[in-house]
């Protein structure tokens, strides 16, 4: 599923291929995907708009046009494909953007969880979701104290807290499992028991994991591929996620699977024994 590295890969790929194109028309085949306005208004506002830039905040993509911005979230299995006008529509393609050069950008989403919403191009950061995002671990400068302040009173498992996008933006199930492995921490450990230096270590390790994943084009677990069908290679680098029953790459102990906060969680019982209190 798309997390920060996958969304960043999509952004870079799309930017290289569709920047400067002008939308001639839009077809929406699943109306619930469009938030904040009705489909008719969504389409009419996008017609004639030229794409100027594509930005990313956490797992959100922001398409910047002449007069409007479109905020898109891929959720579980959303993907963008650039295809020629003549190609037959796949049954899971729910939104098609037709460009004036006869190419099309198609949004495909098997589970229909993804969302798109239009907003003012100068005020998209006030959108619900975007405005509450925490810092990104891959940012050049991190206010570690601010992250610690958000973590220190939380009684939930550290895994649950790391998945909270208002604490750190961009981490999802895969990369939280990998970050916790790298940090030697059990996923179910209470967040409030961590010291400031432990939180700093977690943020730094999440940065290492995310930057490596971006370099390799993200992960291609289950059905996920980036735009234009580009397949990531980070899944070959995973230490614990989806490796239940397989030997740990460090100590050869069998990787275990459990549930934390309702999420499937993988960990090494030998390497992840770091207890602080």
Q: Let me know: does 35 contact 117? Beta carbons within 8 Å.
A: yes
> Hey, which residues does 84 pair with through a beta bridge?
103
The one catalytic residue in 59, 79, 159, 189 is 59
* Whether 263 is catalytic: yes
Which residues 26-45 are close enough to bind DNA by CB under 7 A? 32
By beta-carbon proximity to DNA, the closer residue of 98 and 113 is 113
* Region near DNA per CB under 7 A, out of 95-103, 157-165, 197-205, 224-232: 157-165
Alpha helices in the chain (DSSP H): 4-18, 39-46, 144-151, 158-163, 173-183, 196-215
Token output for 19: 């920047």
Q: How far apart are CA 198 and CA 276, in angstroms?
A: 9
**What does the per-residue mask of binding to DNA show for 1-20, with x meaning CB under 7 A?**
x-x-----------------
* Whether 3 is catalytic: yes
CB-based burial of residue 113 (10 Å sphere; 0-12 exposed, 13-18 middle, 19+ buried)? middle
Q: Which of 24, 196, 249, 263 binds DNA (CB under 7 A)?
A: 263
For residue 172, give Cα distances in angstroms to 119, 147, 220, 263.
26, 17, 14, 10
* Whether 249 is catalytic: no
By beta-carbon proximity to DNA, the closer residue of 26 and 164 is 164
Q: Which of 24, 39, 55, 129 binds DNA (CB under 7 A)?
A: 129
Q: Which of 47, 111, 215, 275 binds DNA (CB under 7 A)?
A: 111
- Write down the residue that tokens 């650039």 correspond to: 82
Q: Which of 172, 217, 218, 232 binds DNA (CB under 7 A)?
A: 172
Supply φ then ψ for residue 41, to 5 degrees: -70, -40
Beta strands 103-108 and 93-99, pairing class: antiparallel
DSSP, res 135: B
Q: Residue 207 interacts with DNA (CB under 7 A)?
A: no
Q: Residue 146 interacts with DNA (CB under 7 A)?
A: no
By beta-carbon proximity to DNA, the closer residue of 56 and 121 is 56
Q: Which of 259, 270, 275, 276 binds DNA (CB under 7 A)?
A: 259
* Whether 254 is catalytic: no
**What does the per-residue mask of binding to DNA show for 80-99, with x meaning CB under 7 A?**
-----------xx-------
> Hey, which residues does 54 pair with through a beta bridge?
63
The one catalytic residue in 207, 257, 263, 269 is 263
Q: How far apart are CA 64 and CA 71, in angstroms?
A: 9
CB of 162 to DNA, least distance (A): 10
Token output for 273: 């024994």
Q: Residue 134 interacts with DNA (CB under 7 A)?
A: no
Kindly write down the DSSP assignment for every residue of 151-192, as one continuous string.
HTT--SBHHHHHH-TTTBSS--HHHHHHHHHHHTB-TTSBGG
What is the total count of residues that contact DNA (CB under 7 A)?
31
Question: Which residues are near DNA by CB under 7 A?
Answer: 1, 3, 32, 58-59, 73, 75-76, 91-92, 110-113, 128-129, 132, 153-156, 160, 163, 165, 172-174, 259, 261, 263-264
Q: Which residues are catalytic?
A: 2-3, 59, 263
């Amino acid at each position: 599923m798309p997390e920060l590295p996958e969304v960043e890969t999509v952004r870079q790929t799309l930017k290289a291929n569709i920047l400067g194109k002008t939308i001639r028309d839009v077809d929406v085949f699943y109306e619930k995907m469009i938030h904040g306005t009705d489909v008719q208004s969504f389409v009419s506002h996008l017609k004639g708009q030229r794409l100027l830039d594509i930005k990313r905040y956490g797992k959100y993509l922001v398409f910047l046009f002449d007069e409007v911005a479109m905020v898109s979230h891929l959720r579980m299995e959303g993907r963008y494909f650039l295809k020629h006008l003549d190609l037959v529509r796949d049954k899971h393609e729910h939104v098609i953007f037709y460009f004036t050069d006869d190419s099309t950008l198609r949004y495909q989403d098997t589970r229909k969880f993804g969302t798109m919403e239009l907003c003012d191009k100068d005020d998209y950061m006030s959108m619900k979701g975007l405005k509450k995002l925490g810092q990104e671990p891959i940012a050049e400068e991190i206010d570690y104290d601010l992250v610690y302040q958000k973590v220190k009173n939380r009684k939930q498992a550290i895994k649950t807290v790391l998945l909270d996008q208002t604490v750190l933006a961009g981490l999802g199930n895969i990369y939280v499992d990998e970050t916790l492995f790298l940090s030697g921490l059990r996923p179910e450990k209470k967040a409030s028991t961590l010291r400031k230096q432990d939180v700093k270590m977690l943020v730094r390790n999440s940065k290492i994991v995310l930057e490596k994943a971006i370099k390799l084009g993200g992960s291609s677990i289950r059905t996920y591929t980036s735009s234009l069908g580009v397949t990531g290679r980070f899944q070959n680098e995973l230490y614990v996620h989806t490796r239940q029953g397989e030997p740990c790459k460090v100590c050869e102990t069998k990787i275990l699977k459990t549930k934390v906060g309702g999420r499937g969680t993988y960990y090494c019982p030998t390497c992840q024994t770091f207890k602080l209190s």
